[in-house]
Amino acid sequence: MTQLIECVPNFSEGRRTEVIQAIAESIRAVAGARVLNVSSDVDHNRTVITFVGDAAAVETGAFTAIAKAADLIDLDQHQGEHPRLGATDVVPFIPIREATMEDCVAIAKRLGERVGRELNIPVYLYEAAAARPDRENLENVRRGEYEGLKEEISLNLDRKPDYGPSQVGKAGATIIGARQFLIAYNVYLNTNDVGIAKKIARAVRHSSGGLRFVKGLGLLVEGQAQVSMNLTDFTKTPLHRVVELVRREATRYGVNITRSELVGLIPQAALVEAAQWYLQLDGLSAGQILENKLTARFAPETRGAGEAADSFLNAIAAGTATPGGGAAGAYSGAMAAALVAMVGRVTVGKKKYAEVEAEMQEMITAAEKLRADLTAAVAADIEAFDAVMAAYKLPKDSDAEVTARSEAIERANHVATAVPLRVARDATSALGLAALAAEKGNANAISDAGSAANLAIASLRAAALNVRINAANVKDRDAAKFWLSEVASLEHRAADTLEAINRTINERMAS
């Protein structure tokens, strides 16, 4: 089975469809990221996007979405019922398959550091990723909302962010963390008295004496009082128990539930459990559900962890122009970075390597960024070469068309060279990290460090070959000379690094 991590970022925009679409598309553009649901609420003025992927895909997808939201959302102009701290308000990571909470915490910390450094947005860590106990609870971090944070962040040391500046721009601050699956569930009442909703929310939520694993607010939405809730562990406090308590409390005030709604997705197990309780089907199992049986019977056989790799290899072997050597080289570099990260993770936490733990953590962070960038370069290389082919197919029946075609080919070749040149740089960086892994990483993973080094060299050589081929086709010879000079310099440096890595591996294996 391939790794699957869920990310459910909440954005402070629920009314401008073009903004919501732009944010969702920024996630969809990331290789390996799959958007499952986009849920917007006009009154809350808030959108929740659910997407999944492996660690690299969700980390990159979250960063691109935060960057896009920062460009398009101005918190000084934002109003809505739901509490918020930033344009991208909260970004949780949830382990789904072949992933642990520790994996998600590591992603949250890497992402938080990058958002603070590159986007200049204050970042607070929460839930399992929290750096301080008082920040585990989301409500504590969000207290005072955006307006309060603007006044306090530079004056109150308790509001100092975990990453980024102690000042707030129009994008506000972002809260990033790791948690278990959460069900966002709202119940509407047949009254416009928001005070009743607030009283019911107080009775239901755990923080004021209600049900464990339930958070709640009373709001006025579309002219109706609403009890807005988050169920943080439905396996311990099931959905039906929450609904029945809301119903009984509503009766106290002479009102009824008119309808309810989900924000985002819900696990099937939660619905099966509710059906068991309400229908008194104590023996109901997931296997008795028709759609489950059909899926199990007729779904194609899965190929586990090799499925994505098989798909990529089949695409290369298909006889089409893309993907080709450039994409394969980028993928080789991504594998090199992934192996470096693996060596780091099998080193961290071992007493024998306590002295190098900080270096290993930094190495993992750098390797994961390279892995994400090189993975993205696979698609970028395909797109760049397709653009070159499209330029060569432009008409040339007139002098004007000949000129336009020539200019389009030149532009396309520049882009097609920029991608492998970037891969060459990243592959060289991955090689440098492999040297650190070989020197200071867990000795039991020394062959993995060596494999990473050789994959990085393969990536560099494939990228360099593509740069040279493309450089030969451009008219701007000054640019071509610059590209060729940089590639030659990278190759020379990489040769020295690989030689040093081989010496280090031989020495450590002999000791």
Span 101-117, pLDDT tens digits: 999 999 999 999 999 99
Give me the phi and psi of 227, to 5 degrees please.
-100, 110
Which position has the higher pLDDT, 55 or 282?
55
Instruction: Say which of 82, 206, 240, 414 is annotated catalytic.
Output: 82
Q: What integer is the mean pLDDT of 373-378?
A: 87
Residue with tokens 């642990």, as numbered in its chain: 100
**Residue 31, SS3 per DSSP:** coil
Instruction: Choose among 50, 56, 34: nearest CA to 92.
Output: 50
Give the Cα separation of 116 and 67 in Å (integer). Answer: 11
378 half-sphere exposure, CB direction, 13 A CA radius: 22
Which stretch of DSSP H or E encloses residue 315? helix 307-317
* pLDDT score for 308: 56
Which residue would you say has higher pLDDT here, 305 or 476?
476
Give residue 295's pLDDT. Answer: 62
Residue 299 has pLDDT above 90, yes or no: no
Q: What is each CA distance from 291 to 268, 283, 287, 288, 296, in whole angstroms?
A: 11, 18, 9, 9, 9
Q: Which of 229, 263, 197, 217 is nearest to 83 (CA)?
A: 217
Residue bearing tokens 């040769």: 495
230-252: per-residue pLDDT in tens? 998 888 899 999 999 999 999 99
Supply the pLDDT for residue 387. 84
Active-site annotation holds for 206: no
Residue 159, Cβ density class (10 Å: 0-12 exposed, 13-18 middle, ≥19 buried): buried
How buried is residue 288: exposed, middle or buried, by Cβ count under 10 Å (0-12/13-18/19+)?
exposed
Phi/psi of residue 179, each to 5°? -155, 175
Report residue 101 as tokens: 């909470």
Query: Prior bond to 122 cis, omega within 30?
Result: no
Q: How confident is the model at residue 305 (pLDDT cuts 50, 70, 90)?
A: very low
Task: Give the least confident one: 89-93, 410-414, 495-499.
Answer: 410-414
Mean pLDDT to the nearest integer, 412-417: 88
**Higher per-residue pLDDT: 288 or 194:** 194
With pLDDT > 70 as the criterion, what percentage of the chain qualifies?
A: 95
Split at pLDDT 50, 70, 90, the class of 306 is low
CA distance to 227, 376, 423, 481, 483, per residue, from 413 (Å):
57, 19, 16, 14, 12
- Go through 68-92 and write b for each residue having 16 or more CB atoms within 10 A of its CB, e for each that does not: bbbbbbebeebebbbbbbbbbbbbb
Nearest to 326 by CA among 294, 374, 263: 374
What is the pLDDT averaged over residues 301-316? 60
Average pLDDT of span 314-330: 83
Q: What is the pTM of this model?
A: 0.54
* Crossing angle for the helix pair 101-118 and 357-392, to the nearest 10 degrees: 70
448 pLDDT band, cuts 50/70/90, is very high
Q: What is the pLDDT of residue 293?
A: 66
Q: What is the pLDDT of residue 464?
A: 95
Confidence of residue 310 (pLDDT cuts 50, 70, 90): low
Angle at 410 between CA 404 and CA 415, to 5 degrees: 125
pLDDT tens per residue, range 11-27: 999 989 899 999 999 99
Residues 48 and 94: beta-carbon distance below 8 Å = no
- pLDDT band of residue 168 (cuts 50, 70, 90) is very high
Q: Which two tokens stand for residue 484?
A: 């060729």
Supply the pLDDT for residue 39. 85
pLDDT on residue 1: 43
Say if residue 349 is exposed, middle or buried (CB neighbours under 10 Å; 0-12, 13-18, 19+): exposed
Measured CA to CA, the distance from residue 306 to residue 324 in angstroms comes to 20
Classify 299 in phi/psi space as left (phi over 0), alpha (psi -120 to 50) or beta: beta
Element (H, E) at 191: none
User: What does the pLDDT read at residue 386?
Assistant: 83
Summary mean pLDDT of the chain:
90
Residue 303: pLDDT band (50, 70, 90) is very low
Average pLDDT over residues 125-143: 92
pLDDT, position 205: 96
Instruction: Decide if 5 contacts 93 (C-beta within 8 A).
Output: yes
Mean pLDDT of 452-458: 95
Q: Looking at 214-228, 357-371, 376-390, 425-439, which range is the least confident one?
A: 376-390
Percent above pLDDT 90 for the chain: 64
Whether 297 has a pLDDT exceeding 70, the answer reads: no
Residue 475 DSSP class: S
